[in-house]
Amino acid sequence: MAGNAVMIVSIEEAISLLRAGHVVALPTETVYGLAASIHDPRAINNIFEVKNRPASNPLIVHIGSPNMLPLFARFIPKYVYKLTDAFWPGGLTIVLKKNSTISGDVCAGQDTVALRMPGNEIFLKILAETNTPLAAPSANPSQRISSTHHQHVESLFSSRVPVVAGGSCRVGIESTIIDATNNDLIEILRPGAISAQDIEAVSNIKCKTREGNFISPGSSKKHYSPLKKTFLVSNQLINKKINIFLNHAIIISRTLKFLPGKVINMPLKPEHYAKKIYDSLIQADSMDGDSIIIEQPPQTSRWHYINDRLKRAAHKIL
């Protein structure tokens, strides 16, 4: 890649680069990922370096079919195949007890492996052609906002990482992660567009959100953060203090009317809102204003995964 300033690469170039042990940013339906072959320890190490990610934080392994699960997992509860039938390819990452064929670096030394078949044609084609599972964390430096468009990847990593241009991600928020290491309980480690109710309905197994210290190693409280001070604010408080906020802040809102340069309008439905939220946070960071005010969306279960990310993005909840 030396001397080549344009870092958009074709699918064929991405395949050659991955085979040669490079890290390549690829689109998925949730967010862009920084992909590398799980069989290349140097490339895996580069992912951690490029992202500035602690070695203790394991990577998701992306595979092309549920048939590959037994290659990596030593114990697969029956309900897992009901879930893959219903949700793969798609935004469900399944954590299983790992077997010894998978490198400790990818799994950060844990006894488990996280697996997902992504719902994106480009990614699936690359998985099929390289014939290699690809580890891929979200394409953002640790703690920053995930990329949901190839332009985000380009601006975050400039000439350091080649990217396949897949346009906007269809879902826009990272996959739901479940711990499926038990026969009779599923635990959500990170909420996503696929909800606990969806999972229970398909699996017939109780599904609850894991609280406390044993959540995903990457689920630190601060995450997905804009550079500007960011506040999550109730609709009532925004209306009360609107003139103060308009003086110095960018407001991300579903209900205020459009004020160019001041308000970024958000869609009313959760799935449309999810698709736009990271782009809006990145846009707000680049606009004139010293802080970002996000209007709190409804606190219902359909908004749960979005509220989870907004709470992490915010420096404070008002």
* List of residues contacting ligand TXA (CB under 6 A): 28, 30-31, 33, 57-60, 91, 93, 95, 107, 110, 112-114, 116, 118, 136-138, 174-175, 177, 189, 216-219
> Among residues 76 and 139, whose Cβ is nearest to Mg ion?
139
Going by their DSSP bridges, the two strands 24-26 and 33-37 should be labelled as antiparallel
The span of 62-70, 87-95, 122-130, 136-144 binding Mg ion (CB under 5 A) equals 136-144
Residue nearer to ligand TXA on the CB measure, 214 or 259? 214
**Residue 247 and residue 223: Cα distance in Å, rounded?**
27
**Can you tell me which of 28, 30, 138, 175 binds Mg ion, judged by CB under 5 A?**
138
Q: b/e string for 8-24 if b means 16 or more Cβ within 10 A? A: ebebeebbebbeeebbb
State the nearest-atom distance from the C-beta of 35 to ligand TXA, in Å.
Answer: 8
- Would you call 23 helix, strand, or coil by DSSP? coil
CA–CA gap between residue 97 and residue 151 (Å, rounded): 36
**Can you tell me the distance from the alpha carbon of 264 to that of 273, in angstroms, rounded to the nearest whole number?**
12
Tell the smallest beta-carbon distance from residue 172 to ligand TXA (Å): 10
How far apart are the C-alpha atoms of 198 and 83, rounded to whole Å?
10
Q: Which is nearer to ligand TXA, 114 or 263 (CB)?
A: 114
The minimum distance between CB 249 and ligand TXA, in angstroms, equals: 28
Nearer to ligand TXA, 31 or 256 (CB): 31
- Number of residue whose CB is nearest Mg ion: 138
CA pair distance 58, 68, nearest whole angstrom: 19
Tell how strand 8-9 and strand 163-164 pair up: parallel
Q: Residue 212's CB: how many other CB atoms inside 10 A? A: 5
Residues 188 and 83 sit within 8 Å (Cβ to Cβ): no
Separation of alpha carbons 7 and 96, rounded Å: 35
Least distance to ligand TXA, CB of residue 66, Å: 16
Q: Which CB sits closer to Mg ion, 138 or 203?
A: 138
For ligand TXA, give the closer residue by CB, 152 or 231: 152
Report the residue closest to ligand TXA, judged by CB.
218
CA distance 312 to 318: 14
| # residues near Mg ion by CB under 5 A | 1
C-alpha span between 204 and 190 (Å, rounded): 20
**Considering CB distances under 5 to 8 angstroms, the limit depending on partner class, which of Mg ion, ligand TXA, none binds residue 136?**
ligand TXA
**Between residue 26 and residue 65, which ones bind Mg ion under the rule CB under 5 A?**
none
The span from the CA of 58 to the CA of 137, in Å, is: 9
CA distance linking residue 187 with residue 203, whole number of Å:
12
Q: CA 21: distance to chain centroid?
A: 23
CB of 81 to ligand TXA, least distance (A): 19
Task: Supply the minimum distance, in Å, between the C-beta of residue 137 and Mg ion.
Answer: 5
Q: Which does 64 bind (CB under 5 to 8 A by kind): Mg ion, ligand TXA, none?
A: none
- Shortest distance (Å) from residue 265 CB to ligand TXA: 26
- Which of Mg ion, ligand TXA, none is residue 133 near (CB under 5 to 8 Å by kind)? none
Residues forming the site for Mg ion (CB under 5 A): 138
